[in-house]
Amino acid sequence: MKLIILDRDGVINFDSDQFIKSPDEWKPIPGSLEAIARLTREGWRVVVATNQSGLARGLFEMVTLNAIHAKMHKAAAQAGGRIEAVFYCPHAAEMNCDCRKPRPGLLNEIAARYGHDLHEVPAIGDSLRDLLAAESVGARPLLVKTGKGEKTLAAGGLPENIPVFADLSEAVDHLLKTAA
């Protein structure tokens, strides 16, 4: 099974410092849905791992998060892709949970659900916490410059040999070429 893990905000859709709080605020980054469609056509199982502390902060309710994800699933399907599942952490950083990236909880949950060792599974993110979570479970972290990616790159302190791509589309092009 070819599995790939994507962060949501800043990788698939535009991010906001004020959080994505409604389906109307969820807007795909150009090329991201088509990249998911290419992965789907090539037999990859696409899952999303995302921190959603807006729930704990009271910025939106669970029904709203579900509506945002329904819009994302529908948009991916309309482009010919499929997002199999969305794993999310609903906690704020100060809650000190195991599922909030950079901790490994979400990724361990994915491994358990799919019965799949995450060693070398590509995990694409735009923040250091995405990369560290991937690295902590032996997955292969990749950084995109969209979302917080440019700031992440400029801040330095990245794990060694992290490949950097302009966006999800470029990262997927690379993965599909190297997996062939």
The per-residue b/e assignment along 9-37, b for 16 or more CB within 10 angstroms, e otherwise, is bbbbbbbeeebbbebeebebbebbbbbbb
Q: Does residue 7 have an active-site annotation?
A: yes
Q: Does residue 9 have an active-site annotation?
A: yes
- The active-site residue out of 9, 15, 126, 167 is 9
- The active-site residue out of 7, 15, 126, 130 is 7
The Cβ-side half-sphere exposure at 21, using a 13 Å CA radius, reads 10
Strand bridging mode 122-125 / 83-89: unpaired
Cα 140 to Cα 50, 96, 122: the distances in Å are 17, 25, 5
Six-digit token string for 143: 């950084």
Q: Which residues are catalytic?
A: 7, 9
